[in-house]
Structure 1
Amino acid sequence: MTTTSGTVEYVATPEQMIDAHLTWMRAGGYAEKSVRASRRVLRKAHTELPEGLHAAIGTELAAWLDNPEWVRATKCAYHKHLVRFYRWATNPKDPWMTFDPSADLRAPKVNPGVPRPAGDELVRAAIYDTADPWRINCRLAALGGLRACEIAALRREDVTAEVMHLWGKGDKARAVPTHPLIWELIAPLPPGHIVRRPSGRPPTGDWVSTQTAHYLAAAGIPTKLYPLRHYFASTINQRYGDIRVVQELLGHASVMTTQRYTAVTASRLREAVTVLPFSGSDADDTPSAGPAPSDAAAQPPHRSEASAPPAARRGRRPRRPGRGRP
């Protein structure tokens, strides 16, 4: 592959292409987690493809994605990184490649996620029977709907007794009301990150999620931050009944994503079925069909011979216009 700089043409290596693509992602506002994931996937693909990332063809990409050891979610994520890279590389305004091998690459189908909120007893144990900082993490997820990456980025100066100012995926900002049990733990904290690593390094979403899960498992509480966030969404949707409100609280761009977080309980399903008629044995449950028609009303009306046309009285069909003699 070649690219030009003024009148000088030079050949770019795949490593240079990947680095330039990552720079483009950072300039476009992609989260650093997404940039790191893209770097890992692109380097993996370049190493494992027969001719490398820069000389691959569509069938090679399809064969690489058809790895039986990968789940469909992994294949879908890898497909997304590849398509974004090749579309960037074949941009006619600044081309690094002359063709896009991913143009006809079909995205793997991924089944929609099933809501899996934590139960009330697990939530109660997670927000009351745990030690800090894990208790703060659990309350932020269950009572604020925060993602692990948002918990990691949250600072004391971002939280007041009324509202939490959050930075979500793609550095999208949103405000979520502060639950009293959250404020109870955050109010006395000093400025800086709410969650602090023992090493002093800034916390990451992966670290917050993994360490909280390990602590909860050791404490005998079989749940994680993600089911606690699902609990937040499902409970508000069931009690408040407005999925658009839930969408704003969770920071979703599409309400379709929010629907995967909101579970419908079996009791709500039973209540919905009971509104149908014929739900009981009483006669009152049967919808009334109205009074039975009388014999006179049931008989179709007969036209008298006086009202019938002359041809019908003589047993002949009426003459059609234009069919008789002139």
Structure 2
Amino acid sequence: MDDTDIDPIRDYLQFREDGALGIRPLGENSLEHYETILRRMDLGLQAGILGSTTDEIRAWICRPGRSASTRSNYIAIVRGYVRWAVAERWIDYDTTVRLPNIPTPPGRPKPWPEEALADIRARAAAPWALAIDLSSYGGLRCIEISRLDREHVTSRVTRLWGKGGKYRDVPTHPYIWERVESMPAGPLMVGARTKMRMTPNSISVGVRAHLKTLGYPGFHNHMGRHRFGTRAYQTSGHDIRAVQELLGHSSIATSQRYVDVAEGALASAVAGL
């Protein structure tokens, strides 16, 4: 075998995609994220990940400016990769055993404000306007937006292919139907130059860049999903199970992280005691 064919990161990602040995397979979006982090780390370490010491790996992960959640995520990713490499005899011992376990507080929901959404909808250009509506009024993830075809959307319901290969039906909001009704069959999100289905990452990056041009730096499409979860919770009479079904979460605890509770609601709850 030519040395250029040796790529343990590629082999590990294939292992994770296949879901071998009973390990939950990674979806397309997660695989892309894992590869981005592992490739970046492998290039950033002089001897690569598998040739570096624990201290060198820790120093790269714990660079100043990285949040606790980012560091925790990087440690989890590299641990899985190195443990696989030990099992496959790429290396002799696990250099990630002594990496710290970094506690991370649960993230707060970040729905975009309603007035900001109204302004964005009034000025957003295609195809980003559709992606913004799909997240804000349908609760779609970028991977679900990428997979969505015109045939999956009716005036009544939208059929989604979500994480883990699971399908779910979400009622179609009139704003979404208004944008989709006259579109041709096939993928709803198509690259302007490639004329091909857009990837989840290209949708995420494209929406973020477009929002920045509209005067909303730091805004991203997942904020629409948080907005959808929050509004669904409010309008359903605080039915968290309904929110769970609409967002496609396997755990109610995950859905709770998508629901923003207004300060006024907290004050009313205490005042009513």
Give the TM-score, by structure 2 length. 0.83
1:65 and 1:46 mapped to 2: Cα distance? 11
- What does residue 265 of structure 1 align with? 262
What secondary structure is seen at the aligned counterpart in 1 of 2:105? coil
- What does residue 202 of structure 1 align with? 197
- What does residue 161 of structure 1 align with? 155
- Contact kept, 8 Å, 1:138 with 1:228, in 2: the verdict is yes
- What does residue 232 of structure 1 align with? 228
Q: Return the offset for 1:198.
A: 0.8
- The superposition leaves residues 249-287 of structure 1 with CA deviations (integer Å, 9 ceiling, x where unpaired) of 1122332222221111122112111112xxxxxxxxxxx
- The alpha-carbon distance between structure 1 residues 78 and 217, as it changes in their structure 2 partners (threshold 3 A), is closer
**Residue from 182, 189, 200 that aligns with 1:188:** 182
Q: Return the offset for 1:51.
A: 4.3
- What does residue 284 of structure 1 align with? none
What secondary structure is seen at the aligned counterpart in 1 of 2:7? helix
- What does residue 62 of structure 2 align with? 66
- The alpha-carbon distance between structure 1 residues 43 and 174, as it changes in their structure 2 partners (threshold 3 A), is same
Give 1:44's aligned amino acid. Answer: R
- What does residue 109 of structure 1 align with? 103
Q: State which drifts further: 189-198 or 95-104.
A: 95-104
1:228 and 1:37 mapped to 2: Cα distance? 21
2:65 and 2:136 mapped to 1: Cα distance? 33
Q: Return the offset for 1:18.
A: 2.0
1:217 and 1:267 mapped to 2: Cα distance? 30
- The alpha-carbon distance between structure 1 residues 43 and 231, as it changes in their structure 2 partners (threshold 3 A), is closer
**Residue from 12, 35, 38 that aligns with 2:34:** 38
- Identity rate, percent: 34
1:65 and 1:112 mapped to 2: Cα distance? 20
1:70 and 1:43 mapped to 2: Cα distance? 18
2:9 and 2:128 mapped to 1: Cα distance? 38
2:136 and 2:71 mapped to 1: Cα distance? 30
Whose Rg is larger?
1
2:213 and 2:16 mapped to 1: Cα distance? 39
Give 1:237's aligned amino acid. Answer: Y
2:192 and 2:258 mapped to 1: Cα distance? 32
Answer yes or no: is 1:144 the counterpart of 2:138. Answer: yes
Aligned ranges 1:130-141 → 2 under 5 Å: 130-141=124-135
What secondary structure is seen at the aligned counterpart in 2 of 1:83? helix
What secondary structure is seen at the aligned counterpart in 2 of 1:90? helix
**Residue from 6, 10, 14 that aligns with 1:19:** 10
Give 1:78's aligned amino acid. Answer: Y
Q: Return the offset for 1:45.
A: 3.1
- The superposition leaves residues 276-304 of structure 1 with CA deviations (integer Å, 9 ceiling, x where unpaired) of 2xxxxxxxxxxxxxxxxxxxxxxxxxxxx
Q: Return the offset for 1:129.
A: 5.0
Query: Which structure exhibits the higher relative contact order, with contacts defined as CA atoms closer than 8 Å and separated by 6 or more residues?
Result: 2
Instruction: Please state which structure has a larger fraction of its residues in helix.
Output: 2
1:41 and 1:252 mapped to 2: Cα distance? 25
Give 1:116's aligned amino acid. Answer: K
Aligned ranges 1:171-182 → 2 under 5 Å: 171-182=165-176
Answer yes or no: is 1:243 the counterpart of 2:240. Answer: yes
- The alpha-carbon distance between structure 1 residues 189 and 24, as it changes in their structure 2 partners (threshold 3 A), is same
- The alpha-carbon distance between structure 1 residues 112 and 119, as it changes in their structure 2 partners (threshold 3 A), is same
- The superposition leaves residues 11-68 of structure 1 with CA deviations (integer Å, 9 ceiling, x where unpaired) of x999432222122123224233333333333333334445432243433332332211
Count the aligned residue pairs: 264
What secondary structure is seen at the aligned counterpart in 2 of 1:166? strand
What secondary structure is seen at the aligned counterpart in 1 of 2:170? strand
- The alpha-carbon distance between structure 1 residues 270 and 204, as it changes in their structure 2 partners (threshold 3 A), is same
What secondary structure is seen at the aligned counterpart in 1 of 2:93? coil
1:225 and 1:22 mapped to 2: Cα distance? 26
